[in-house]
Amino acid sequence: MTRPEMTARSIARTVLIVVAVLLTIYVLYLLRKPISWLVIAAFIAVAAAGPVNVLQRKMKRGVAIVIVYIVIALIPVALSALLIPSLVGQIEYLADNTPEYVQDIENWVQDNETLSNLNDDYDITGKLQAEAEKLPEQIPDAAGVLSDIGVGLVNSVFAALTIMILSIFMVAGGPRWINGFIEAQRPEHAERMERTLQKIANAIGNYVGGALLQATIAGVTAFILLTILGAPFAGPLALVVFFFDLIPVVGATIAAFLVAIVMIFVNFPVALIIWVIYAIAYQQFENYVVQPQIQKRATKIDPFVVLVAVLFGSTLFGVIGAILAIPAAAAILITISEIRAYMREYGDGTEPKPKKKPARRRAKPKPKTA
């Protein structure tokens, strides 16, 4: 077998292809932020299309879009109105009562022989007491940190507004764009393309419903436990658990950590220990039982695939990857299923000829009677 000759033309073509691929990758890297915004906007648009279509039966589509997106925009506003006053009050209460908490910890340490010996050697409680007395004086120094947080918040608000505007345009023009895309296909492919896109849209809508159900379960169970433990602001803390639980894998951990900070000051250390044990046990139960089973019924994906998709998505793209992993996996599996069905139907690469209708038999003429 002879090797093909390397001509100057083939070398130049190969070099151009490599350069084009590298240039494309570099451009995609530069545009990674707006591309991620477009992906998130598309996800929100598909999720919002269901409620919009329901409301459209009773009103104009434009009015339905406005109502749905006002509700979406009010969710973070309502959450902030519930949490921020409680958070500010809790911080002020913490700053005023930190010396008392340190004294309680000191008494608890003195009652424990092992911890008492460590305290005698390293003067742990004395150092805590000194830092606690400085805490009210250090609060004004946090202005610089709050300024940085404010800049980040402004950037986040700008990104959120951009994503929402893109999403609104997608919901408003989506049906027209999809119909135009389908009409551009060959007639024998248009029906299959429409069916595939509809299945993907249904899978994403079902995923959102499943995620809300999962977060509701987490929020309700957290509220019950926090109420039993006597935690302050059990309702707002349960809302924190609800919203963070919408983030697969890491969301429950973040929420558990935030609640644990509050539980330090509620019947320490019993309440904190109970909460930590609950959070660890519930997260494992949710990650390996609740989420896979709910998403299996919502998106028709095997629980193992759900778990692997979330792990891969979170590793590659962080929080956004974790959120979009399951609907992306559903879209890929649906597309593969339709391609396999197409290959089974047209395996030889030729389109089937339309079936001819069987020819009618002519009735035999009746014999003439004399």
Percentage, residues of the chain above pLDDT 90? 9
Residue for token digits 């658990």? Answer: 241
Is the separation of the CB atoms in 99 and 129 below 8 Å? yes
Decide if pLDDT at 367 tops 80: no
Whether residue 314 lies inside any domain: the answer is yes
Residues 314 and 309: their CA atoms lie apart, in Å, by: 8
Whether residue 255 lies inside any domain: the answer is yes
Nearest to 205 by CA among 314, 321, 37, 53: 53
> Structural domain tally of the chain?
2
Same domain (yes/no): 314, 178: no
Q: Which residues of 297-323 are buried (b: 16+ CB within 10 A; e: fewer)?
A: ebbebeeebbbebbbebbeebeebbbb
Whether residue 359 lies inside any domain: the answer is no
User: CB within 8 A of 4, min separation 6: which ones?
Assistant: 10
HSE-CB of 344 using CA atoms within 13 angstroms: 6
Same domain (yes/no): 176, 210: no
Whether residue 303 lies inside any domain: the answer is yes
Same domain (yes/no): 250, 337: yes
Whether residue 67 lies inside any domain: the answer is yes
Whether residue 42 lies inside any domain: the answer is yes
Whether residue 96 lies inside any domain: the answer is yes
pLDDT band at 123; cut points 50, 70, 90: low
Is the separation of the CB atoms in 229 and 267 below 8 Å? yes
Q: Looking at per-residue confidence, does 277 or 132 come out higher?
A: 277
Decide if pLDDT at 140 tops 60: no
Is the separation of the CB atoms in 218 and 283 below 8 Å? no
Same domain (yes/no): 194, 255: yes
pLDDT band at 39; cut points 50, 70, 90: confident
- Condensed to tens digits (0 to 9), the pLDDT of residues 155-171 reads 778 888 888 898 999 88
Whether residue 15 lies inside any domain: the answer is no
Same domain (yes/no): 235, 323: yes
Burial class of 164 by CB neighbour count within 10 A (0 to 12, 13 to 18, 19+): middle
Same domain (yes/no): 168, 202: no
Q: How many CB atoms lie within 10 A of CB 149?
A: 11
pLDDT band at 24; cut points 50, 70, 90: very high
Same domain (yes/no): 112, 209: no
Domain hosting 259: range is 190-346
Is the separation of the CB atoms in 262 and 234 below 8 Å? no
Same domain (yes/no): 158, 220: no
Same domain (yes/no): 219, 163: no
Looking at the whole model, is its pTM more than 0.75?
A: no
Same domain (yes/no): 166, 298: no
Task: Specify the 3-state DSSP secondary structure of 77.
Answer: helix
Nearest to 36 by CA among 369, 300, 323: 323
- Condensed to tens digits (0 to 9), the pLDDT of residues 230-260 reads 887 788 888 889 988 888 777 888 888 888 8
Decide if pLDDT at 294 tops 60: yes
Joined together, the tokens standing for residue 30 give 């530069």
Decide if pLDDT at 22 tops 90: yes
Plot region of 156 (φ>0 → left; ψ -120 to 50 → alpha; else → beta): alpha
Residue for token digits 């609640």? Answer: 259
Same domain (yes/no): 175, 197: no
Same domain (yes/no): 198, 176: no
Task: Specify the 3-state DSSP secondary structure of 285.
Answer: helix
The mean pLDDT of the chain is: 78
